[in-house]
Amino acid sequence: MKILQCVPNFSEGRDPNFLRELERVLKQFPVKILDLSMDKDHHRADSTFLGAPDAVEACAMAVTSRAIELIDMRHHKGSHPRMGAVDVVPFIPIRGMTMAEAVAIARRFGRAFADKHQVPVFYYEDACTSEARRNLADIRKGEYEEMPKKLQDPAWKVDAGPQVLNEKSGVTAVGARMPLIAFNVNLHTNDLEVAKKIANAVRHMGGGLRYVKAMGLSLEDKGIVQVSMNLVNYQKTPIHRAVELIKAEAARYGVLVKECELVGMVPIEALEEVVSYYLQIPGFSAKQVIEYHLLPD
């Protein structure tokens, strides 16, 4: 049985009615809803669902189309980088599918979405059409505010849709990738510069861990700061390694870790190394978890 996952991210994190509207749309399709959440500091909502490829693709079009109707980027401000109402739409092959199949679906979806809503679309990660566009951060650089200028650059010819910014809806990135883990570490300080320095030391672009993207954010309602991460390959950079490096870097500034946050879902295999490391059980396997054997083949 082929199983495909989709994790659209939306630029709305403060209106609970928006989340209820997404749920209403998602429930109209034969997919399994794994997560539906929002963050008011990031001003961002995430949805995660999976199922048969055709159902997931149809559901993705419906829920992103509803978001396009509800969000106006001309009034959006938040701490998380963003460039569009529907910021990213990644497709992830989970079972019985190749990455090439996920790429084909992502590109077909991107063309249909761009044509339907007249929104510029770039393909990223495994769906990218050039290595310069593989990294989502490179596509999103400049964010919504700088997109009119970016779209005038011949190097940034869109993969689908119009070559001009849709002022209401912005720009969307559509991709195919392996499961990504959104993992945040909150610090016992309100010094944003400390969080930014730690994030730079941890992320690959700053000379840190190869498969980590990170940035420092302020959580104003909690009076603390956060190192917000995307672990893009948990097999090569496990969760515990990123957490331990943050602890070590934080100690340089006399700062302790307050807590960690897992945003959305995580593959069970990604927890193998966490259990093995912190419980000191070499060779621990997810297959030792009873519930693992309840999963369908």
The residues that are catalytic are: 80
Strands 9-10 and 121-125: unpaired
Contact between 201 and 207 under an 8 Å Cβ cutoff? The reply is yes
- Rounded to whole angstroms, the Cα distance separating 68 from 237 reads 35
Q: How many separate helices (H) and strands (E) can be counted in the chain? A: 8, 11
Angstrom CA distances, 196 to 39, 43, 170, 256, stand at 20, 19, 27, 15
15 burial level (CB within 10 Å; 0-12, 13-18, 19+): middle
- Rounded to whole angstroms, the Cα distance separating 297 from 285 reads 18
User: Taking Cα atoms as reference points, which of 181, 210, 196, 211 lies closest to residue 255?
Assistant: 196
